[in-house]
Structure 1
Amino acid sequence: MTRLFRSVGAALLLALLLAGPAAAVQPDEVLPDAAQEARARALSVELRCMVCQNQSIDDSNAPLARDLRLLVRERIAAGDSDREVMDYLVSRYGEFVLLRPTWHGANVILWLAPFAVLLVGGIGLFVAYRRRAAPSEAVVPLSPEEEARLRAALGEAAPDVTKL
């Protein structure tokens, strides 16, 4: 029994170790200068793979991600600052290339839309609850004349008041 637990534990540990992010950077992509390579890796983590869409180009094995990694390294080797590299990629691919889009223009609407929907839905639920919980109008009994006319219209005999 303990042998089974050990083997299951070892398999779980191996699965957890393998579940970490897979760096897709190939050895031929690495810059010779360690400082430039560190900058390239930091920028690659911030850029979206256009094929995978929810992975950074640093983690993606897609050919386009490789091209973007090489482009980042070329710009860094050419002497561009981090901001210049990011601006170049945004001008070429749009803000979609950023894993964390900026907070301006139409992006503000995209960032705030979920909260606005929640707020409007909450207000709608509150109003619906208040309407349901509000006391309904009191029922006013019919006057004796109205009751007599109703019974006449329905063809019923008037109740005998003496028996009540």
Structure 2
Amino acid sequence: MGVTCVSQVPVAEGKSVQQTVDILHRKLEQLGAVKQGNFCVDCETYHAAGTTSGQPPKFLYVMHNSETPLSCMGMFEGGPCLIADGNFDVLMVKLKSHFQNAKGHKVETRGARYQYCDFLVKVGTVTMSSSARGISVEVSKAKEEQMIEV
């Protein structure tokens, strides 16, 4: 199992989110990184319906990743995680009496994938309600089958 590091990158002073992302792309390309396409990760928040009075609401986060299009991940706040097939969203619709979608709380990260030596670097713009909120950078060791010769 490899190691992945995801970091939030501050927006450059006097620059917009997109301008800062463009600067990061240029720096990666100057280092010799090769663009390999795009990625998208989204997260929808659900809250437990009909919580007991005095109890804080429990949240369920459902995430989709373009790197694993046939599956999605569910994470309970302070509890277990699960990996399910892509049709988990259909189940969530059927469970609407137990979990309700928290409208306006969908978070999405979209961006470009780069291969740099034996690392995979993803630079993405984090949006919530179609408003840019920040920048994420994910660095992971590329799998042997993903590596390209340099």
Bucket of the pairwise TM-score, normalised by the shorter protein:
under 0.3
TM-score (normalised: structure 1): 0.20
Structure showing the higher helix proportion among its residues: 1
Structure showing the higher strand proportion among its residues: 2
Could you say which structure has the greater relative contact order, defined with CA pairs below 8 angstroms and 6 or more residues apart?
2
Bigger Cα Rg? 1
TM-score (normalised: structure 2): 0.22
